[in-house]
Chain A
Amino acid sequence: MQPTSSMNEEFLKKWQMGLQIFRPSIDNTSVHERKKAIKLSADVAMASLRKGTTCWSRALIEKTATEDNFLVRQMLSGIKAEALINKKLPKKIVCHRKIVRRSKKILRRKSKSASEEAAAKAKRLVKRRTQGLRNVVPGGELMSNDVLLLQETLDYIVSLQTQVNVMRSIVDAAEAEIERTVCCSENAIVIRGWRDYSKPFCT
């Protein structure tokens, strides 16, 4: 499933709303602050599209709420913001590495055949990768089983794709506009009266 245009539009609307809310932190601040605010608003918009149905969206909102609680709440005000932010996430699954390693060593001693070792190695690889995936996907540590993890990853990837699409289109359009306005402004200064006619020339 690829992100559809309606998803893009929804995300854009939510993001616009978020940018309006984040306006004060965007105006007259440094580039880094602006970038942070833009990214934050985009993330919250992306997560709020799911309306709290998926684990990663809740985890993402929690994460953003820790950075800028008030604004995030404002942004989610229409969508049961309190419920979303305060929703209890499942407990983080903590595996004490020492204990796990010891138990694995004990297990390894028992099975020494080649095929078993190969299978065990493959399993280890897969486990390592799934752990990596948990680190990447927001809220991954909270998902108890692999099936859920993969499901959430699917959804997260689609949402990320919409986010990237919309952001890229805005950036490109903004850049094009800047080019246009820059060259147009140059012409406009020279020939103010001919501004409207000069636009086709400068593009």
Chain B
Amino acid sequence: MDNELFMNTEFPTPPEMATHFEHQPSSSSAMMLNWALMDPTPHQDSSFLWEKSTEQQQQQSIFDSALSSLVSSPTPSNSNFSGGGGDGFLIRELIGKLGNIGSNNNNSGEIYGTPMSRSASCYATPMSSPPPPTNSNSQMMMNRTTPLTEFSADPGFAERAARFSCFGSRSFNGRTNTNLPINNGNNMVNNSGKLTRVSSTPALKALVSPEVTPGGEFSRKRKSVPKGKSKENPISTASPSPSFSKTAEKNGGKGGSKSSEEKGGKRRREEEDDEEEEGEGEGNKSNNTKPPEPPKDYIHVRARRGQATDSHSLAERVRREKIGERMKLLQDLVPGCNKVTGKALMLDEIINYVQSLQRQVEFLSMKLSSVNDTRLDFNVDALVSKDVMIPSSNNRLHEEGLQSKSSSHHHQQQLNIYNNNSQLLPNISSNNMMLQSPMNSLETSTLARSFTHLPTLTQFTDSISQV
């Protein structure tokens, strides 16, 4: 499920994928991982992402990693976009990174121009980085990194878009399976989720069918489509555009690309159910119009039934969902937050937890400085071997391991520790030892008085870990 949703963000999934993705749904996560790894242009956080993914649950890690890369990357590099544009920019980047399945590298220049001129919002700005001419990488990689905008100029895009439109239905599926020319053989995995999505929207079949034919005029038409939130647009001559935007959304929007579609509230419901992931995508402000932009760098949000289709409210809704997702993750991380509901209380807990962790660090460093004044090196070296022998990831394990160390068990570890100690003792003269130990005990005693909260702290952390 996660993979499907995640894959859906790669919106410019050309229909070429259609036949292929059915066969390879499982590799989607691997593909995403590869993409996250290999994407050279944006940042160097891919290594970090890779670490995370190998360690954590793969799905969530991939998700988080991609999101974190997207989240973290734009801010340092694109400081000129500020305010409300931040999120949209992120989403544009997300789309741009994820969606480049389009194989066409031809019309990149043309595509960049159009959205700029049209939309006043930050969403209009295309991705600043042109497709990296990395032909050395695999084709898949290159396809991924080429901007999404390119394939909007693809003459066959209308067909593909129509097919992948969420408003398409099973008939779409049939059509996609049979008719789609498959140029891009590499990026196939992404569509598995999309096709299932497509099947959920039967309403716009009629809408979509006329669009299948106009391939070449599509690019022309979308430019002429006026930007605006009028709901009649899709139904009228701008019929390609909504399907276009929808398809683009489908392909690009994470967790079900949504466009604020006036028709088919039920459809929206279904789409809404699908979207759970963070980074859903900002609402596309120009919902019906601007078909070229959606493939490029927009994540489209569908308006829920009974809710305003205002671009602002849509964007807000997406943002709220994103925040909700992050809060859920934080809930898992911060102990004792399962019972807390509501943002304010959760934030309170998070603040307290972070502060307590910081205080712990301070206290532990103080303790370490008092305990280990001259033997820091010895301790650290010896402890490295100990820690390696006792790999542990939480406090309790550490304590157990250490207890086993300090107790007189005749484990291999114990023998090693004794060996270490025996090596240490000759190094330190007995006089020195005698001098040091009383000093240490003195210091520890004086410090212990000031650190009377140490036991409470450990109890606190123990209770936290137990929660």
Contacts and interface: CB of A to CB of B under 8 A. Distances in A.
B421 A199 contact: yes
B406 A179 contact: yes
B421 A5 contact: no
B395 A165 contact: yes
Interface string A157-197: 11011011111111111111111111011001100000110
Given A52-B44, A165-B393, A31 B380 contact: no
B76 A5 contact: no
Interface in A77-93: 87-91
B399 interface: yes
Contacts of A132: 347, 351
B136 interface: no
A103 to B, nearest CB: 16
Contacts of A184: 421, 425
A133 B347 CA distance: 7
Nearest to B446: A31
B41 interface: no
B356 to A, nearest CB: 9
Interface size class, chain A: 35 or more
A54 B72 contact: yes
A81 B82 CA distance: 28
Question: Do most interface residues of chain B lie in helix, strand or loop, or is the interface mixed?
Answer: helix
Contact of B354 (A6, A39, A160, A175): A160
A180 to B, nearest CB: 6
Interface string B359-393: 01110111111111111110111111011100111
Contacts of A185: 425, 430, 433-434, 437
B338 interface: no
Contact of B72 (A1, A27, A151, A173): A151
Interface in B422-450: 422, 424-425, 430, 433-434, 437, 440-441, 443, 447
B366 A31 contact: yes
A61 interface: no
Interface string B136-151: 0000000000000000
24 contacts: A4-B56, A4-B393, A27-B374, A37-B369, A53-B43, A126-B347, A133-B354, A136-B351, A136-B355, A145-B319, A146-B323, A151-B71, A155-B68, A163-B357, A164-B461, A167-B364, A168-B398, A169-B392, A171-B368, A172-B398, A173-B383, A174-B379, A178-B371, A199-B422
Interface of B: 43-45, 47-48, 51-52, 55-57, 60-61, 64, 67-69, 71-72, 75-76, 79, 82-83, 86-87, 90, 319, 322-323, 326-327, 329-330, 332-334, 343-344, 347-348, 350-351, 353-355, 357-358, 360-362, 364-377, 379-384, 386-388, 391-395, 398-399, 401-402, 405-408, 418, 421-422, 424-425, 430, 433-434, 437, 440-441, 443, 447, 461
